[in-house]
Amino acid sequence: MWQSSRPGSIYDYIKVASFSLGPDGRIDQWSERAEQMLGIPARHALGKDPVEAFVPREFRETGRRKVSEILDGREWTGLVPYRRETDGAVDGLAEIYVMPAENEDGERGAVCLVVDVRALRGIETDLAA
């Protein structure tokens, strides 16, 4: 049975967001949580290259290679520094889990889950203690 989480769910404490990439490698869906976490409104993210949208300049070449691999059907999990749109400075470290997906025409894209690592590591440390 589907039900809402009770107050105190782990999702109350960690930042989790999602977005998806279309067959062209551009962002075709952007969650409200992605907007809150990354500071990028949907109107500025949709249709954009995700590497250009939130990866700092010095990491973009690696990011483009990874997006190409993902669109070739490879899953990927990794840590990515991200910047908020407001000032362009590196704002955090995100763990991204990318799962290849297909649209109704059989074209490849991807579903992406993003977790703010600082919040997650803090919870892990608290649990370990």
CATH topology of domain 14-128: Beta-Lactamase (3.30.450)
Is pLDDT at 2 greater than 60 in this prediction? no
| pLDDT beyond 60 at 27 | yes
SS3 state at 7: coil
pLDDT in tens, 84-105: 655 555 567 888 899 999 989 9
Say yes or no to pLDDT of 19 above 90.
yes
Structural domain spans, the chain = 14-128
* Arithmetic mean of pLDDT, 108-113: 94
Residue 59 has pLDDT above 80, yes or no: yes
Tokens in use for 100? 């290849």
Query: Could you report the per-residue pLDDT of 62-78, keeping only the tens digit for each?
Result: 888 988 898 888 998 98
Q: What is the pTM of this model?
A: 0.76
